[in-house]
Amino acid sequence: MTFHRILLKLSGESLMGEQRYGIDEHRLAEYAEQIKVVHDMGVQIGIVIGGGNIFRGLTGAGKGFDRVKGDQMGMCATVINSLALSSALGAIGVPSRVLTAIRMEPIGEFYTKWRAIEALERGEVVIMSGGTGNPYFTTDTGSSLRGIEIEADVMLKGTRVDGVYTADPEKDPTATKFTDITFDEIYARNLRVMDLTATTMCKENNLPIYVFNMDIYGNLARVMAGEQIGTLVHK
C-alpha cells in the first residue's frame, strides 16, 4: 500500500489512555510522535478525532439531554481534542492547522475543502474538527465526508482493536480477524466497522478504510510501510 494523502480517524475515547475521562497526556504525546514519523515521510495527513472522552451526544440524549444540543456539545468536545493534538504536534515541530465545521474564530479557521487541501500541500497536518457541523451525524460520518472531500487515498481508522473480526473480539474469544473484506461483506455479515452512513459514503465514493490498533506505539508507521497488521475494507 502506497498512500500520498491519508485521512486518519482517531478515537476520542482512546485519548483517555488509562484514565476514565479527559485527555491522557502520555497517550496524546504518543499519537503526536506517531503522526510526526509519517509526516516526515512526506505523507499529507488530514485528521478527524472523536470527542467521546469528553462528551458523547447520543449517550447524553439517553440521559435527558436534547439530542441536538447534546450533539453540539459533542462537536465542541472534538474541537477541544483537536486543539490538544495540534498543541502536541507543535511541541515536537510538526506544523498543523485546526479547521472547524462551525465558525469559531480565533479557535480555528472555518473548514472548506480548498483551505484544507492548500494547507496539506504546504506540508501542514490538517485537523478537521466539529464533525460535519450538523446534529445526528457521528464523527465516523464526519471522517468519511472529510476523507472524500480532501480526496484522500485511504481512511486509516485508528482504534483499540487491530482490525475487523467476525464478531466483537472483546466479547467473543472465538472471533477471527479478516485481512481484507469488501463493503458488501460488511453489510451481509452486519459488522460494525463504522456507522452505516459512514460506511455507505466510503463505498459509494470508493474510499477504502484500513482498520488498525493506533494504541500500539509505531503501528501507524507500520501501516504506511505496508505491514499487514489490520484489515482493509474495500469495494
Domains of the chain, each with CATH number or no CATH: 5-234 (3.40.1160.10)
- For the beta carbon of residue 218, count every other beta carbon within 10 angstroms: 13
d(CA 155, CA 49): 12
pLDDT at 57 over 70: no
Q: What are phi and psi of 86, to 5 degrees?
A: -60, -40
Euclidean distance between the first and the last CA atom of the chain, given in angstroms as a whole number: 16
Shortest CA distance to 210 belongs to which of 39, 46, 34, 1? 1
pLDDT at 58: 64
Q: Which residue has the higher pLDDT, 21 or 63?
A: 21
* pLDDT tens readout for residues 165-214: 998 888 888 999 999 999 999 999 999 889 999 999 999 999 999 999 99
CB-based contact 46:147 (threshold 8 Å): yes
Mean pLDDT value across residues 136-154: 97
